[in-house]
Homo-oligomer: A and B are copies of this chain.
Amino acid sequence: MPGRVLLELEAFLPYRLSVLSNTVSQAIARIYEARFDLSVTEWRAMAVLGRYSGISAREVALRTAMDKVAVSRAVARLLDKGLIERDTAEHDRRQSVLQLSEAGWTIYDQVAPLALEHEQRLLDHLDAEEKQWLARILDKLWQVERSALES
């Protein structure tokens, strides 16, 4: 066996990120999937629409890092459930103009605090210094991947 390279999965950053991210996301998802019958993609779309009302599907895709097919389907289901409203942009009739409906806001106002609460519970286990480093490191890694995507 000539100097074989062994990959220690438990210590492999991409793997650790993936597992951590999945367990965290699933924990939160369980909250709103069961209680409000929302999928992760649906909630993500609602979350950006709560923050940026009136944006197009394309912008939802950009801001949620979902692909346009996923957004198209999430939008269709949310329309179906009456949680969002859709118009056509006047300046460009290809684009949609999306916003939460009354009913959508009612759900948003229940889910958003729950999600933030869960995040807080997670962050509560880190001290102030650790939180700062985490934010900084995520920013950096984020930018690395962003620039890699463009090249």
CA separation between A118 and B59, bound complex, in Å? 30
User: Once the chains bind, are B13 and A113 in contact (CB under 8 Å)?
Assistant: no
User: Once the chains bind, are A115 and B12 in contact (CB under 8 Å)?
Assistant: yes
Copies of the chain in the assembly: 2
Interface SS majority for chain A: helix
Size class of A's contact patch? 35 or more
For A125, give its contact among B10, B15, B118, B144 (CB under 8 Å): B144
User: Once the chains bind, are A63 and B9 in contact (CB under 8 Å)?
Assistant: yes
A1-43 toward B: CB 8 Å interface, digit per residue (1/0)? 0001111111011111111111111011000000000000000
User: Once the chains bind, are A125 and B112 in contact (CB under 8 Å)?
Assistant: no
A89 to chain B, nearest CB (A): 22
Which residues on A are within 8 Å of B, measured CB to CB?
4-10, 12-25, 27-28, 44, 47-48, 50-51, 63-65, 109, 112-113, 115-116, 118-119, 122-123, 125-126, 130, 133-134, 136-138, 140-142, 144-145, 148-149
